[in-house]
Amino acid sequence: MRTKILKKPTIKRLPTYLHILRQLSNEGEEYVSTTKLINELEFEPVLVRKDLATMDLPGKPRLGYKLQDLINAIEEYLGWNETSDAFLVGCGSLGVALMGYDPFKDYGLNIVAGFDNDSSKTGKSIHGKQVYNIAELPQMIKEQNIEVAVLTIPWQYAQDVANDLIKAGIKAIWNFTTVKLKVPEGVVTHNENLASGLALFSVKKKLRDNSDIED
């Protein structure tokens, strides 16, 4: 079955639903009503109803959705029912931070090792994960069948390193550099930029105005 393509804001809300649903499940709940979720969240009720409806699950009157079914549906949609092993490239301050951010595992991403070209970092372990020399990347990608990379190197090297990663077999790059990477068909990239978020925060702060800045 072809995966339904949901809209961006819906996809961005899915981890929040999942987080709460998992919590309710841990507390021993079996069903969850839309009303309960709405009460637990700050999202608009109409959005929650719409988002949940996209999962195409039957709801029981009064009881709501079967909790585990809803969790499974969201995990499956996001591909988080399986965890992807990933290599992180660039063990600077951001890279180190991400290597130590445990909750990624709940989000389908398992960073298994780091890579850097700085010999003061290689051979050591960060947050229990080994750091290898970047020269070892291509061989290790092939040997371990790694398809996902997290890119946290200085932007000047981003495209070159991405080319090497893709040549070695990487199919998906979570890109924390500011470079918009050029990649061949079949390879995906997603850009994350904390500085951009901080810029939006700063402008709101300066304007002392919380209204959404125009898109």
Site for its own copies in 147-206 (CB under 8 A): 148, 155, 171-172, 174, 178-183, 185-190, 192-206
CA atoms within 13 Å, Cβ hemisphere of 143 = 6
Measured from the CB atom, the residue of 140 and 179 that comes closer to its own copies is 179
Q: How far is the CB of 66 from its own copies (least distance, A)?
A: 22
- The piece of 46-54, 79-87, 112-120, 135-143 that touches its own copies (CB under 8 A) is 79-87
Does 50 help bind its own copies (rule: CB under 8 A)?
no
Which pairs with CB-CB distance under 8 Å and at least 24 residues apart come from 119-128? Answer: 121/91, 126/91, 126/96, 126/99, 126/100, 127/96, 127/99, 127/100
Q: How many residues bind its own copies (CB under 8 A)?
A: 73
Contact 118, 100 (CB under 8 A): no
First-last CA distance in the chain? 34
Contact 126, 114 (CB under 8 A): yes
| Interface with its own copies (CB under 8 A), residue from 101, 110, 123, 169 | 101
Measured from the CB atom, the residue of 56 and 214 that comes closer to its own copies is 214
The whole-angstrom separation of Cα 10 and Cα 17 is 10
Does 63 help bind its own copies (rule: CB under 8 A)?
no
Q: How far is the CB of 46 from its own copies (least distance, A)?
A: 14
| Interface with its own copies (CB under 8 A), residue from 73, 88, 96, 146 | 96
Measured from the CB atom, the residue of 79 and 123 that comes closer to its own copies is 79
Measured from the CB atom, the residue of 2 and 62 that comes closer to its own copies is 2
Contact 88, 98 (CB under 8 A): yes
Measured from the CB atom, the residue of 119 and 211 that comes closer to its own copies is 211
Work out the number of other CB atoms within 10 angstroms of the CB of residue 70. 23
Q: How far is the CB of 2 from its own copies (least distance, A)?
A: 9
| Interface with its own copies (CB under 8 A), residue from 12, 49, 50, 60 | 12
Among 187, 200, 185, 191, residue whose Cα is nearest residue 158: 191
- The piece of 29-37, 55-63, 72-80, 130-138 that touches its own copies (CB under 8 A) is 72-80
CA distances from residue 140 to 55, 165, 168 in whole angstroms, order as listed? 38, 11, 9
